[in-house]
Amino acid sequence: MENLILLSNVGLNTDILETNIINIAILVTLLFNVLGGALKAAMLERKEQILNGVQDAEQRLQEASERLLEAKTQLNQSKLIINKIKTDKEAAIRTIALNNRKRALEELERQASSTKLAIVYKEQQVLREVKEQVSTLALTNVLKFCQEQLKLDTHVQLINKKIESIGGQQWQIKF
């Protein structure tokens, strides 16, 4: 099945399958011989770029992991601080409420004491006024009684009895 046509010492193979395999082999050999060095250099350069990219990505991943760890640490510290602030706030509220309660009780006691003093003062003032009114009324009634019912000699006797009861000297009045 081979049909060879000879032209100037070159033979042609007319079998297409065999010819294609030979042609591909020649082409691949020529490509590796001619372009092999450049292709190897390009592949090595590409390999270097890929390795550099991977190393850079690993380094960024490591840095991101460290930043994540720092952020988690800061978050935990922030949570502790927030809890401390909440606890302090609640304690301050209780303290303020207790202080306000104490102040309110002290103010109520002070007002109660002031009210008691005012009541005592008012009672004393009213008692004084009542005593004065009773004394004035008694003196007025005594004077009225004395003027209307007692005579001068009865007055003198009454005065002498009183002077005698306090240990004084009696008067002798003659009419």
Do 137 and 131 touch, CB atoms closer than 8 A?
A: no
In a domain, 31, yes or no: yes
In a domain, 171, yes or no: no
In a domain, 130, yes or no: yes
In a domain, 172, yes or no: no
Q: State the residue range of the domain holding 84.
A: 4-165
Q: How many domains does the chain have?
A: 1
Do 13 and 22 touch, CB atoms closer than 8 A?
A: yes
Per-residue pLDDT tens listing for the chain (175 residues): 344 443 345 566 566 777 788 888 888 888 778 777 777 888 899 999 999 999 999 999 999 999 999 999 999 999 999 999 999 999 999 999 999 989 989 999 999 999 999 999 999 999 999 988 888 888 888 778 777 776 777 777 777 888 888 876 655 555 4
In a domain, 75, yes or no: yes
In a domain, 170, yes or no: no
Q: How far is residue 174's CA from residue 35's CA, in Å, rounded to a whole number? A: 173
